[in-house]
Amino acid sequence: MANPRTPWAALFLCLLISASTTISHSWKPRPRTPCRELVFYFHDILYNGQNYNNATAAIIGSPQWGNKTAMAVPFNFGDMVVFDDPITLDNNLHSPPVGRAQGMYFYDQKSIYGAWLGFSFLFNSTEHVGTLNFAGADPLMNKTRDISVIGGTGDFFMARGIATLQTDAFEGDVYFRLRVDIKLYECW
């Protein structure tokens, strides 16, 4: 005579397996279609002791072994920069700005170039009025880096999304230009 408990044990095992596979497969990314896409460039000219009139960014904090006119060695680690950079629609520094990128970045990796960014885009043009706010890690050695668009105001009321950064050009430590591909996934 068969053990009457066997079918129940088998059924229980089946349920357990199906439950665990359901759990591991229950997370499916929702369809990701941006509701708005924008591309901007911004231009950062760092103060180096000689370019006060041209500079749009300044080192405001440096580690004990550095100073405020040159990036610290190694990897700029410990430097904190505040900036007020022009935003343009193309990659030309001299194109009419459509807004300002204002905020800060600090280098927080000691064994590779990496920074953390927190800044806003301020728009006050015929095209856009309002702000977009950004935050996130910027591992500079990656060709593209994704940071968060954590909110917005005005034309960008309650906006959220992802901004893909790409270093479009740089000249030593003094100038860099970032291309910012913004994809908003929440629009109001």
The answer to whether residue 145 forms part of the interface with ligand NAG (CB under 6 A) is yes
Among 58, 60, 70, 162, which residue interacts with ligand NAG (rule: CB under 6 A)? 70
165 forms beta bridges with: 145, 180
Residue number, 174 or 187, with CB nearest to ligand NAG: 174
- Taking residue 103's Cβ as centre, other Cβ atoms within 10 Å add up to 19
DSSP 66-79: --SSS--TTTTTT-
- Specify whether the CB–CB gap between 106 and 73 falls below 8 A: no
Helix, coil or strand: residue 14:
helix
Q: x/- contact string, 78-107, with ligand NAG (CB under 6 A)?
A: ------------------------------
Number of residues interacting with ligand NAG: please give it, by CB under 6 A. Answer: 14
The answer to whether residue 74 forms part of the interface with ligand NAG (CB under 6 A) is no
The answer to whether residue 175 forms part of the interface with ligand NAG (CB under 6 A) is yes
The answer to whether residue 60 forms part of the interface with ligand NAG (CB under 6 A) is no
Q: Extract the tokens encoding 150.
A: 């954590």
Identify residues 10-39 at the interface with ligand NAG (CB under 6 A). none
The answer to whether residue 127 forms part of the interface with ligand NAG (CB under 6 A) is no
Nearest to 116 by CA among 92, 139, 82: 139
Nearest to 79 by CA among 49, 56, 113: 113
What does the binding site for ligand NAG look like in residue numbers (CB under 6 A)? Answer: 45, 51, 54, 67, 69-70, 124, 139, 142, 145-146, 171, 174-175
